[in-house]
Structures are given as C-alpha cells and as structure tokens.
A = this chain, B = another copy of it.
Amino acid sequence: MKTKAVFYHAGCKVCVAAEKIVAAGLDPARYDLEVVHLGQAKQRLPEAERAGVKSVPALVIAGQAFHINHGADLSALK
C-alpha cells in the first residue's frame, strides 16, 4: 500500500519550484501525491494546521510536516 503524501502550496514561486522538483520527485511506486492549493481550498487549512504545517510550501508524509523553504505563512492565507 502506498503512503499518502500531501503537498500544500499557495501558487507562489517558491511553491512551484518545490512542487516541480521535490514533491513531483517522490517515487510514484511508493507515494500517492495530492497537491492542495491552500489559497483556493481554504477549507483544507484546518487539516494542514493539524498536521503541523506552519507555512507553505510543505509536504505532509506519514503524519509529519516538512516545510520546504519558505513561501508564505499559513496565517497569510486565511
């Protein structure tokens, strides 16, 4: 069974680089990747916060939040 990976972003330049290179670089044989634009899908903000996401871009894998560089704080997206 594949591990769920969720990439949260806000369309920013830093986010796009992280999505194209890191998130999309994950092994598709082992990870199911979902990409969530938190600027557009604001209803997903609470879920991201519960997972420990403080800023975007971030990857949540196996319940752990990995912030990749810094594009915007979640508070700026509310």
Contact = CB atoms under 8 A, between A and B. Distances in A.
Determine chain A's interface SS by DSSP, over half rule.
strand
A25 interface: yes
A22 interface: yes
A69 interface: yes
Contacts of A59: 22
Contact of A62 (B18, B21, B67): B21
A15 to B, nearest CB: 12
Nearest to A61: B21
Contacts of A62: 21
B68 A67 contact: yes
Interface of A: 5, 17-18, 21-22, 25-31, 59, 61-62, 64-70
